[in-house]
Amino acid sequence: MNYKDYVKWERMPSTWCPGCAIGTIFKSLAYTLEKLSVPREELVVVSGIGCSGRAAGYFDGDSVHTTHGRAVAVAEGIKRGNPALKVIVFSGDGDLVGIGGNHFLHTSRRDVDLTVVCVNNGIYGMTGGQMAPTTPPGEKTLTSPRGTAFAPINIQAIATAGPRHFYARASVYQVNHLQQALREAIEWPGFAFVDVMAFCLENFGRRLAFKSGHEMLFKVKADFKINPAPAGRLADNELGVVKHGH
Amino acid sequence: MMRLIMGNEAVALGALRAGMSFFAAYPITPASEIMHLLAEKEGEIVFLHAEDEIAAIHHAIGGSLAGRKAMTSTSGPGMSLKQEGIGLAHMMEVPLVVVDVMRVGPSTGMPTLPSQGDVLQSVHGSHGDYHPIVFYPSSVEECYRVTIEAFNAAEESRSPVVLLSDGFLSHLAETVDLEAVKVEVKPRTLPPLGRGRRHFTGLLAEDGVPRTKDTAYYREWYARVKAKMSAVASSYRFFEYLPNPGAEALLIAYGIAFRVVLPLRREYSLFKPVRMFPLLEDEIRAAAEAHDKVVVVEMNDGQYAGEMRKLLQRDVLSVPILGGDIRLQEIRERLHEL
């Protein structure tokens, strides 16, 4: 199948804003599915709520758009119900590690064979731009008008806590690396979390004086460097794959 | 073969007889024995001890979407958490059975003591308008039989069907001949995931395409789903009516409360709804018409009595026993006070 065959074109244009980062990740996943020749009848994409949550409906396989935070829980049910299915969760950081944090903790602990793609833009975009558990410290948002007082959640530490784990940090700028990470994650026979550094122009960056998605993209480029062979955990500014156990 | 089993065991065994092959739950008194029995079946069925009640119902939704008859069980505090998933299953039209073994609330309340305080939660607990099918058996044999029927109704309606129980019935041990229970088991209705291009969503949608700004479509959709639920419910008219020609009053009681008032059948007519919702409108109206008084005896502060007033459009007396303990002597005295 060509990557275009994984997309429900009749649903386009998407709901995503001009300059949004989600489309790049969506397309990268479609490319990866083509590379891995995943049959449509084996593919199930599951998402939660938020801008990224809308992605499930744009994939041309069976898909489930769940309630806020519950994508991983529903996905685990699907995978255990029929282990032959390739179950991919595609959702945002607020959904996966905020409201859905408990499911992330425990489904990763149970090492269920799922691929979780996290569009990590550091903000609640769909609801207007409120502080997320991933918002960088000091950043002003609608619910942290004096700047976020809290340290962001350490997704890598949670995802790599168990004896068998797969955590990749990728970005919407380094697209080849993103696709490589997605490929490895889908092939990984356990719980694989791909944390994609993204951005939100309309409800975050715009208020921080970014003028375009392009400007925000180059901020991602400046902020992150690929570490092709990390020795242990990734440093905060590194992209790479940390995996062990399978 | 006669066996001595508890209400909770009968629910678990009924689910297995119905072909349930996916069970997810979180431990809670007084529902845990359902989990314990099904944990022994891991391998034959998918068994999942979830991290919380919200996860459990969402696992069950996933299991059902993947092609398995699925169930989750809990008590009131967990039922409150499951309401989000119940709404999702109604919106996505996913068959499922949700067991609520009622205890005294709100909150942690009196965890080991029975109540019937979740009657309205079972039908109005999730936000928005929806029309669930709710059953409530009153004996161990009925726990077994009605669990099978709950799965049948879930399949036919493609919705989450609620099976109520209570802290008394769940631990009540009675002898039952399970093999002698003859109930047809309905097949799966929802084609499993992995067949094509379907999109299931909690948004209002038409053929998988969101229609979130279309009031006219919402109303049309709502009417269709409501009609579907009523049509399916009409083939599950479970109740017990013990008319007493000389009786001035009709007592309506359900679940464990019905068992307790049963010795009053020489003084009163008794009506026990097993299908709690949608209300057995015709049957209850007909029984009520033959009596000067209608009294609802229940282990809550008159939840079903309110429903009966709405249905019958007449005065309905209420004997609210509340949760905790229920004794015939107290009911008898309260009835005489009326």
Quote the mean pLDDT of chain B: 97
Select the residue of A61, A67, A84 nearest B197 (Cβ to Cβ).
A61
What value, to the nearest 5°, has the Cα angle with vertex A78 and ends A94 and A170? Answer: 40
CA distance B51 to chain A (A): 7
| A133 and A101 Cβ atoms separated by less than 8 Å | yes
Instruction: Determine whether the interchain pair B199/A65 forms a contact, defined as Cβ–Cβ distance below 8 Å.
Output: yes
- Structural tokens at position A198: 């993204």
**Residue B128 pLDDT greater than 90, yes or no:** yes
pLDDT band at B195 (very low <50, low <70, confident <90, very high): confident
Mean pLDDT of B104-124: 97
Interface check for B42 against chain A (CB to CB < 8 A): the answer is no
Interface check for A12 against chain B (CB to CB < 8 A): the answer is no
Identify the H or E element spanning B231.
helix B215-233
Select the residue of B52, B88, B198 nearest A102 (Cβ to Cβ).
B52
Interface check for B326 against chain A (CB to CB < 8 A): the answer is no
Mean pLDDT of B227-235: 98
CA distance A152 to chain B (A): 23
Say yes or no: ipTM exceeds 0.90.
yes
Residue B17 φ/ψ, nearest 5 degrees: -65, -35
Mean pLDDT of B147-168: 98
Interface check for A86 against chain B (CB to CB < 8 A): the answer is no
Mean pLDDT of B212-234: 98
Instruction: Determine the pLDDT at residue B332.
Output: 97
What are the residue ranges spanned by the domains of chain A? 3-7+17-244
Task: State pLDDT tens for residues B165-177.
Answer: 999 999 999 999 9
Tell which phi-psi region holds residue A14, choosing left (phi > 0), alpha (psi between -120 and 50) or beta: beta
Tell me the C-alpha distance between A35 and A174, whole Å: 18
Instruction: Determine the pLDDT at residue B139.
Output: 98
Instruction: Determine the pLDDT at residue A241.
Output: 98
DSSP-assigned letters across all residues of B99-152: EEEEEE-STT-EEEEE--TTTTHHHH-SSS-----EE---SHHHHHHHHHHHHH
Instruction: Determine the pLDDT at residue B295.
Output: 98
Instruction: Determine the pLDDT at residue B174.
Output: 98
Task: State pLDDT tens for residues B321-332.
Answer: 999 999 999 999
Select the residue of A40, A63, A78 nearest B62 (Cβ to Cβ).
A78
Instruction: Determine the pLDDT at residue A107.
Output: 98
Q: Which residues of B touch A102 (CB under 8 A)?
A: 51-52, 54-55
CA distance A108 to chain B (A): 12
Query: What amino acid occupies position A54?
Result: R
Instruction: Determine the pLDDT at residue B196.
Output: 79
Instruction: Determine whether the interchain pair A67/B55 forms a contact, defined as Cβ–Cβ distance below 8 Å.
Output: no
Select the residue of A44, A46, A73 nearest B59 (Cβ to Cβ).
A73
Q: Which residues of B touch A80 (CB under 8 A)?
A: 22, 46, 48, 59, 62-63, 66
Task: State pLDDT tens for residues B32-79.
Answer: 999 999 999 999 999 999 999 999 999 999 999 999 999 999 999 999
DSSP-assigned letters across all residues of A151-196: PPP-HHHHHT-SSSEEEEEEESSSHHHHHHHHHHHHHSSS-EEEEE
Please give the average pLDDT of every successive group of 10 residues along chain A, which has 246 residues.
95 95 98 96 97 96 97 98 98 98 98 98 96 96 96 98 97 98 98 98 94 96 97 96 95
Instruction: For each of the domains in chain B, give its residue range(s) and CATH number, in order of start.
Output: 2-180 (3.40.50.970), 240-337 (3.40.50.920)
Task: State pLDDT tens for residues B83-113.
Answer: 999 999 999 999 999 999 999 999 999 999 9
Instruction: Determine whether the interchain pair A102/B55 forms a contact, defined as Cβ–Cβ distance below 8 Å.
Output: yes
CATH number of A3-7+17-244: 3.40.50.970
